Every structure is written in structure tokens, then in C-alpha cells.
Amino acid sequence: MPVFVEALVAGLILIGAFFLFVGALGLVRLPDLMRRLHGPTKATTLGIGALLIASMIYFASVHETFSIHELLITLFLFLTAPVSANMMAKAHILRAQGERGRLPPTGTSAGWATFDSGKREKG
């Protein structure tokens, strides 16, 4: 395997490990659910993506075959992580009656959560 490919794979592994560590640290250290969503959905998604791309490059250079599995996992992860984070945030806002009063206005007649009429409830 050429040296530049080894350096690229090693760099992607280090970048992926760094973002995974930052995402896990954010998940543990941030105080509430709405802030904890950023750790796994932003940083760890980027970290796993970097590791999967490093795996694709490594196996393409060593075995000289292209594996579609890592690419499909990466695409699936990048598509589903933001959607699941959005759904968890909407569910949290819908269920957390006490926190609705602290939310800024949406600027529309609809509220922040699904099935929310936009009326503010003090809790």
C-alpha cells in the first residue's frame, strides 16, 4: 500500500476517533436532552463517517476491490441521523410542557412541536 494512502487512512481514523470522542463527551457532559442531541447527531455522525470512508479506502487499496457496504452505511447514517434528531427534539418539545414557555416564537401560526397549535402554556 502506498505511503500517501496509509497517511490518508490514518488521518481519517484519527479525525473519526476525535469526533467520536467529542460526541460521546457531549452526550455525557451536556445538561439537558435538547443540548445532548448535538453530540450523537453531529459529531459522532461525522466521526463514524470518517471511519467508514477510511475503511473504504483501506480495503480498496489492499484488496483492490470496491466495497459498497461502507458507502451505503455512510449514506444511510448521514440521512437518518438528522431526521431522528429532529423527531426526538419535536417529541421532547411536545411532551415537556414546562419548557414551552421558554421557547422563542416561531414566527408562524404553528408552534414548535408537531400537533402544537402555537398557544403558549405556562408550566
Cβ contact 58:87 at 8 Å: no
Buried b (16+ CB within 10 A) or exposed e, 41-61: bbbbbbbbbbbbbbbbbbbee
Which of 110 and 69 is assigned the larger pLDDT?
Answer: 69
Distance of CA 50 to the CA centre of its chain: 13
What pLDDT digit, counting tens, does each position of 1-53 carry? 789 999 999 999 999 999 999 999 988 888 888 888 877 788 888 999 999 99
Residue 30's SS3 state is coil
pLDDT at 118 over 80: no
| Domain residue ranges of the chain, discontinuous segments joined by + | 3-79
Dig out the grid coordinates for 45 from the structure.
455522525
Q: Please give the Cα distance from 61 to 50 (Å, whole number).
A: 17
